[in-house]
Structure 1
Amino acid sequence: MSRKLGAKIRNKAAWDAIRTSFWFVPTIMVLLAPGLAVGGAWADHGTGDGLVAHPWWLYAGTPDAARDLLSTLLASTITMTSLVFSITIVVLTLAASQFGPRLIRNFMASIQTQLVFGTFLMTILYCLIQYAALGPVTDRVPIAMPSATLAIVLVALSVALLIPFIHTLALSIVSETIIERVGRELDVLLDDLEPLTTVERLRAWSDVADRPDQVAFGTDDSGYIQSIDFDELVAIAERADLVIHLDHQPGKFVVPHGRWISVWPAGRLTEVDRKRICETITTGVNRTPVQDVDYPIRHLVEIAVRALSPSLNDPYTAIAVLHRLSKSLARLMSLSLPREVLMGESGAVRVLCPQHGHAAILAASFDQIRQLGAGKPVVVLNQIEALRQVGEHCQNFDQLDAIKNQLVRLGEDASREVANADDQAVISIHLATAFKTLSSL
């Protein structure tokens, strides 16, 4: 096991928490405002008196005029910021009601949104500092003021960012845009998986010797398991000659002081090792896509489920979800999922943890859509096509059997829910074509 991989998981979890924090980038930009203000004041003192030899684009005027300018810029920027906040809240409300509140996370992770709000807040703070720095000045001689020029530039930049932000905001509530954003999260997760090998035999749970005396415990915190440092777990077990069994994988909810972590032999487990084992597990109030393959899939399925509900009745959004799922799942068929049994350098089994298999992921992707869309022929036909396309990328018979099982269930539900005989005939033809294609692989 590689320590670099464990560090990568920890860094990925930390980066996921940072990028989905709406105020991280704006906070950094706000902290830059005092530095810009100091730089502007230093530039003002460096220009000296008079207007000779100063560039044409540099603002020049009396301190009173500069104060009026900053006051106007400050008021207009605050107005624009409040307007952008109001529009954003309205858009988020619409998106949450139609696609689900959990998708707000994707909006918060948008770097463009964070940069826009950061620019507005930085401009406001800069103008406030410069306005206060002018103070009561009675000098009536016009002078060049780089600080006021910078304020104009920042406000102009805020206005320039406003138009593309509104454009992006409008696109963000389009179903295809949201589906693609969530789909990219799934693709990023797949990037960390290794290619599937056919010669490698994975240790099965039955290969593990019977457990002698064992001790069960849980973490002190509750919440969803966001990440597990399996490399560190293996290292702990290897040093103490232990076997660690986790009942839950990332994405599952655990309660405090549960009994879902088992370690044997119990006599070799020290209190220090117990604490280290718990420290390898990160929990939180939300699920994250760091190690949870099921997480982005559930988001996509939620969009389809809401679209198929009687209140929306939007089968075309569900079809778009099926298309996006087929793209990622076709790639997943050639990738190796996390192992359930991990061994140390000595070759002994050290960590056991249940993981999602290809069949389970296919079920999570298609079951709910099949159950709610079985009575809509257009959804059924597109699901058949999606399963056929994914099936063409299967690497072994287990994957093919899972695809065929999904097709069988889909045919059974459609025959029961679709009332029109002609529609049933078309569905039967497409099912037969899909089975024929898969049988020839």
Structure 2
Amino acid sequence: MKSWVSKLYNIWELTRNSLFYVPVIISFCFIAGIIAVFLFELHYTELVHKIHYLYAGSIEDAKSILQTALSAMITMTTLVISITMVVLSLSASQLGPRLINTFMSSRVTQIYIGFFFGSIALCLTLLILLHDNSTFDKTPRLSISASFTITFINLFILLGYVNHVARSGIADTTINRVSCEIQQSLERLCTTDDLNDNKANQALKPADFESNGRALYSSHNGYIQNIQYPTLLTLAQDTGLVIQLDCMAGDYLFKGQQVGIVYPANKITPEIELALFACIDVGENRTGAQDIEYSVRHLVEIAIRALSPGINDDFTAITVLDKLSGLLAQLMDSKLPSHIYHDESGQLKLVAKSSHKPEIFFRALSKIRDAGKQNPGILMQLIFVLGELKNSSYPNKEYDAINLQIAYIRQHITEFFAESEEQKALEKMLSKYGLKS
């Protein structure tokens, strides 16, 4: 992925979770639309007045109705915001506060809220236009009728929004939405980078790399959101350097932490060091621009909260495991970028920390397994997921990660279900999938 594309996507990730941008854009569109209709009516007044089913009252009556409609729209929008805050509060308490971004990033939610704010802006704009009677000779029937129609439609939009919010509050809806985000991330990130030379995919660093290299240290605190690998590669080629990054997207940096090593040390200048750090975007929050585990963590958090004593919802946790099984199968059949880059002559120029499938696999299942280690139903579902993954037809199976999870499950069975019917059932399930040692 090119540097500017990656950087733009990171900016998009930061802005799409906001309820601000889409409603503002829609409001400006409504304002522009009513002004366009008003100007059209000024130029084609006679043509408009031939349409008999349009508003036929006086301007003063129209102003009075518009003021009432504006007041009603403000009240309706206040109700919408209140409903939204209630849903966000429930989502934060039951599914986790990080899932608020998932709700706010819903384009449908943003469009609904934008329509209400846009209707207020439309009514207010038309009231301002009608205030000066000298700009038109006859009542602007089309503009007034359009505003009345939009206000009437808002009644049904409110019903649609309530239905949308009610569905959004269901755990399964959130799980499906997060699963789609993970799937899109895998499709976007799990590809072979065209900058990576497959013929020389080993990081053969110079013999004196450690002794003649210079360590670089972070001057900021925050999460790495995006690393511009193509720009780093170009910088290394132009300056004759070999760059090693000990961090990747999703890692947290603190001031003074070692970011990497640059070789040779005598070629490094303050300008080069600034250019290198400019390729690493650091912010207050993690984003999914290059971080594969970003949305996986959200899905795992739903399962952990569902298994907490205060909620104790096994079915939600099982739904998460069902979704994770498909996503992990897709991950096993994908190729993660290695971030090892060479120049045209095959010399190593850039090597960076990369994600590994076993680590992602382990982090995705370990916390859920630990939270449900005393729950035979959760362990049964984990055995089912691990068994299906191990016996699947995907060629790139991560057997080590699967076997490690199975070993932990055997330990939980011995520790919590010794000499019980649950132990017999769980061991039978292990034997069914050939997972018993």
Q: Which amino acid aligns with 2:307?
A: L
Verify the 8 A CA contact 2:212 2:263 in the aligned structure 1: yes
Contact preservation (8 Å) 1:50, 1:144: no
CA distance in 1, matches of 2:273, 2:37: 55
1: CA distance, partners of 2:400 / 2:208: 31
TM-superposed CA distance for 1:81, in Å, is 0.2
Q: Is the 8 A contact 2:214 2:265 kept in 1?
A: yes
Corresponding position of 2:101:
105
CA distance in 2, matches of 1:55, 1:273: 72
1:128 aligns with 2:124: yes
How many Å separate the matches in 1 of 2:302 and 2:271?
Answer: 45
Q: State the 1:401 CA deviation.
A: 2.2
Alpha-carbon shift at residue 13 of structure 1 (Å): 1.4
Q: Is the 8 A contact 2:303 2:320 kept in 1?
A: yes
Change (3 A) 1:202 1:100: farther
Distance in 1 of aligned mates of 2:146 and 2:275: 52
CA shift, 1:349, in A, is 1.6
Q: 1:181 aligns with which of 156, 177, 198?
A: 177
Q: 2:165 aligns with which of 156, 164, 169?
A: 169
* Residues in 2 aligned to 1:245 and 1:87: alpha-carbon distance in whole angstroms: 50
Residue 63 of structure 1 aligns with which residue? 59
* Counterpart residue number, 1:21: 18
> For the aligned residues, what is the CA RMSD?
2.6
Give the equivalent residue in structure 2 for 1:34: 31
What is the number of equivalent residue pairs in this alignment? Answer: 429
**Contact 1:60–1:144 (Cα < 8 Å) also in 2:** no
Q: Contact between 1:116 and 1:158, CA under 8 Å: does it hold in 2?
A: no
2:155 is equivalent to residue 159 of structure 1:
yes
Separation in 1, partners of 2:224, 2:320? 26
TM-score (norm 2): 0.91
The residue number in structure 1 matching 2:247 is 248
CA–CA separation in structure 2 for the residues paired with 1:73 and 1:339: 59
The equivalent of 2:354 in structure 1 is 355
CA–CA distance in structure 2, aligned partners of residues 245 and 174 of structure 1: 45
User: Helix, strand or coil for the counterpart of 2:434?
Assistant: helix
SS state of the match for residue 435, structure 1? coil
| CA distance in 1 between partners of 2:32 and 2:47 (Å) | 26
3-state SS of the aligned residue for 2:312? coil
Aligned to 2:395: 395
Contact 2:333 2:396 in 1 (8 A): no
CA contact (8 A) 2:204 2:348 kept: no
Q: Which residue identity is paired with 1:280?
A: C
**Contact 2:406–2:435 under 8 Å retained in 1:** no
Identity of aligned residues (%): 30
Q: Does 1:91 align with 2:90?
A: no
Structure 2 residue 70 is the aligned partner of structure 1 residue 74 = yes
SS of the aligned residue for 2:258 comes to coil
Q: Which letter maps to 2:234?
A: A
Matched residue type, 1:30: S
Q: TM-score normalized by structure 1?
A: 0.90
Structure-1 residue corresponding to 2:366: 367
SS in 1 for 2:272: helix
* Letter paired with 1:224: Y
Cα distance, 1:208–1:96 mapped onto 2, change above 3 Å: farther
Distance 2:206 2:214 in 1: 17
Whichever residue aligns with residue 105 of structure 1, its letter is: N
Q: Is residue 235–residue 344 contact of structure 1 (8 Å, CA) maintained in 2?
A: no
Shift of 1:34: 3.3
Report if aligned partners of 1:334, 1:393 keep a CA contact under 8 Å in 2. Answer: no
Q: Is the 8 A contact 1:221 1:255 kept in 2?
A: yes
Contact 1:294/1:361 (8 A) holds in 2:
yes
- Match of 1:342, as an amino acid? Y
Structure 1 residues 206 and 349: CA distance shift in structure 2, 3 A: closer
